[in-house]
Amino acid sequence: MSLSRREFLRLMGLAGAAGLLPTSAFAAARKPSDLYEIPAFGNVTLLHMTDCHAQLNPIYFREPSVNLGIGAAKGRPPHLVGKHFLQYYGIEPGSIEAHAFTYLDYVELARKYGKVGGFAHLATLVKRLRAERGDGKTLLLDGGDTWQGSGTAFWTRGKDMVGACNLLGVDVMTGHWEFTYLEKEVIANIQEFKGEFVAQNVSVNEDALFDYAFADFEGFDEDSGLAFKPYTIKIVGGMKVAVIGQAFPYTPIANPRRFIPDWTFGIKDEHMQATVNQVRESEEPDLVVVLSHNGMDVDLKMASRVSGIDVIFGGHTHDGVPKPVVVSNKGGKTLVTNAGSNGKFLAVMDLEVSKGRLKDYRYRLVPVFANLLPADPEMQAYIDKVRAPYKDKLEQKLAVADELLYRRGNFNGTFDQVICDALREVKDAQISLSPGFRWGTTVLPGQEITLDNVMDQTCITYPETYRREMTGKDIKDILEDVCDNLFNPDPYYQQGGDMVRVGGMDYVCNPTEKMGRRISNMTLDDGTPVEANKKYVVAGWATVNSQAPGRPIWEVVSEYLERQGTVKIKKLNTPRLVGVKGNPGLGS
């Protein structure tokens, strides 16, 4: 970045402009001179990042226009999008923060404000905050989904990210996609990680307990059966801070069990309560926080059931939530946050803690704009080094985007449609299915699509594609099942992903219905109804239960992109929604 922050602001005509300055809940009475001037407060600062999905370089990431809350979650954080979001949090439309938190005027504002995230830029921000707060007064927490999401993470089996996190100075982490590598790789990466890996909800299962391959791993405890350390104690600003880990509870369901056959997960909120009680009794901490990968709705429910936690720093659902939600429970109150994804945000919580009590706090979810934060040279050099062997391959240009390509949202994004179209065309199928992941970066219209972009959207450790016959009923069952994982009114039955993406088929979806009754009117692209007993040729990828036979999805998508040259979406297979009119989780 050749421009200094100040120069950049001047150039953009933004300095002092209302757009840049938070005018609302975020802002102190005085106006800060830049986005990253965060007045110090209290004696403990907890920095939290989550779900960066291995995005070492700055990227574009469009927030969702559909993020429906059903039942009690309707219209409540995090289920607010677009103008509903801005109204709720009092953010000025068109401002840099409106751009960071919503999809509104996305292309125009993305061109204006530039890319977000990038570890070199994040490192600059972390260093600045650490210097401002002073030695030993900060703790950097990483909520996980760190080792997966880019080509380099895939090819180095997450090691590039372990190195980057060590350089960034991550103190404590937990995980989810980390567990999509093999058990021995997970253990090796944790051993290489300089911080601590914590999870109170991952146990060694009954079979493995009798003959466990990692019995010597220091995180394992034979008596409790826990595979990893449940918590750690850190001294921050002279205060004793307990950080309890909560890994993604449904990893072996949402992702392949075959990579991690010895480990069993779960929400385990009773064990969470027991852990909190034990920590409070035996360690006498001044502050108890949970570093969670539950997803925001699950965290909100857990906060209402478990008492004694001061703050839950949440991730998984990729919700950029500007203010903590305060949840009441038997023991008092618990703050619940969620800090977005893809390296786009850094959460800064300054706390005033004394003698076992959280007295007050300030919270900011700070967007990381690459143009506003110069790259940290040391981190940049590291990133360049890990990318070097793959650089040429990754920067290979495959096609040009004719329109905005993104994924995030409850239903098909435009990049999903490209993947679905690629599957149908390259694999000669009537219908295609693609998982509703919440990661995957955005490509602006006119931008060249590189293998980097394709890997951002597709690189997982089970990328194999399939082409098989399914009946209409089989397809409906899959849609119903995934839809329930998204819209079950009880968050403990949700898995935090979005709806499975479809190609070549439309349907009607009523998220407010019961399982088995949400999906109807399935039709092929030509309008022919999909019949329950008739067989269809379906192509897809990312099979969880067993390895599919076809080549990796990125090869299929790359081939399709090269054929296309210029990528235009002919038809977006997004369902017609019923029962959710006026839902603030639905954008215009």
Partner 1 sequence: MKLDQKRRVFLKGSVAATSVGFAVGAGLLTPSAVLAAWNKSAFEAKAVDKAIGGALGNPTTSPSDKISIKAPDIAENGAVVPVSIKADLDGVTEIALLVEKNANPLSAIFHLPKGTLPDVSTRVKMGKTGDVIAVVKANGKLYSARKSVKVTIGGCGG
Partner 2 sequence: MAKTIKIRAKAKDGVTTVKSLITHPMETGLRKNKKTGKLIPAHFIQEVVCKHNGKEVINCEWGASISKNPYLAFKFKGGKKGDTIELSWKDNTGQSDSITTKIR
Instruction: Give residues in contact with partner 2 (CB under 8 A).
Output: 206-207, 209-211
Give the amino acid at 360: D
Q: Looking at beta carbons only, is 210 or 570 nearer to partner 2?
A: 210
Nearer to partner 2, 155 or 212 (CB): 212
Give the shortest CB-479-to-partner 2 separation in angstroms: 27
Q: Report the DSSP pairing between strands 345-354 and 357-367.
A: antiparallel
Instruction: Please identify, using beta-carbon distances, which residue of 210 and 527 lies nearer to partner 2.
Output: 210
Q: Which does 435 bind (CB under 5 to 8 A by kind): partner 1, partner 2, none?
A: partner 1
Rounded to whole angstroms, how far apart are CA atoms 521 and 432?
17
Instruction: Residue 150: name the closest of 559, 498, 447, 554 by CA.
Output: 554
Least CB distance to partner 1 at residue 331 (A): 20
- DSSP for 163-186 reads HHHHHHT--EE--SGGGGS-HHHH
Detail the DSSP E strand segments found in 247-331.
Answer: 263-264, 287-292, 311-314, 325-329
H or E element in which residue 512 lies: none
Task: List strands edge to edge, sheet with 535-541.
Answer: 465-471, 535-541, 431-436, 498-503
Of partner 1, partner 2, none, which one sits near residue 211, judging by CB under 5 to 8 A according to partner kind?
partner 2
Residues 19 and 96 sit within 8 Å (Cβ to Cβ)? yes
Residue 264: name its binding partner from partner 2, partner 1, none (Cβ under 5 to 8 Å by kind).
partner 1
Nearest approach in angstroms of CB 507 to partner 1 is 16
Report H helices in 39-118.
Answer: 82-89, 96-101, 106-113
The entry of partner 2, partner 1, none near residue 362 (CB within 5 to 8 angstroms by kind) is: none
By C-beta, is 206 or 526 nearer to partner 2? 206
Classify residue 435 by its DSSP letter.
E
Q: DSSP string of 281-293?
A: HHH--SEEEEEE-
**Any alpha helices (H) in 342-458, and if so which ranges?**
377-387, 391-394, 414-426, 451-458
Q: Which helix (H) or strand (E) segment is 236 a member of?
A: strand 231-236
Asked if the bond preceding 78 is cis, omega within 30° of 0, the reply is yes
To partner 2, the closest distance from the beta carbon of 263 in angstroms equals 16
Q: Which does 493 bind (CB under 5 to 8 A by kind): partner 2, partner 1, none?
A: partner 1
Q: Which is nearer to partner 2, 206 or 392 (CB)?
A: 206
Residue 538 interaction partner, one of partner 1, partner 2, none, beta carbon < 5-8 Å per kind: none
Nearer to partner 1 by Cβ, of 317 and 371: the residue is: 317
| Least CB distance to partner 1 at residue 312 (A) | 17
The DSSP code for 62 is P
Between 90 and 266, name the residue whose CB sits nearer to partner 1.
Answer: 266
Least spacing, CB of residue 256 vs partner 1, in Å: 9
Q: Which is nearer to partner 2, 114 or 266 (CB)?
A: 266
Tokens describing residue 514: 């019961």
Q: Which is nearer to partner 1, 379 or 538 (CB)?
A: 538
Tell the smallest beta-carbon distance from residue 355 to partner 1 (Å). 35
Q: Which residues bind partner 1 (CB under 8 A)?
A: 205-206, 248, 250-255, 257, 264-267, 270, 295, 316-318, 435-439, 477-478, 481-482, 484-485, 492-493, 495-498, 500, 542-545
Write out the H or E segment, with its range, that includes residue 536. strand 535-541
Indicate which of partner 1, partner 2, none lies near residue 266 (CB less than 5 to 8 Å, by partner kind): partner 1
Which of 422, 456, 449, 419 shows the shortest CA–CA distance to 435?
419
Residue 578 C-beta: closest distance to partner 2, Å: 39
- The amino acid occupying position 140 is L
**Smallest separation, CB 216 to partner 2 (Å):** 18
The kind and range of the H/E element at 356 are none
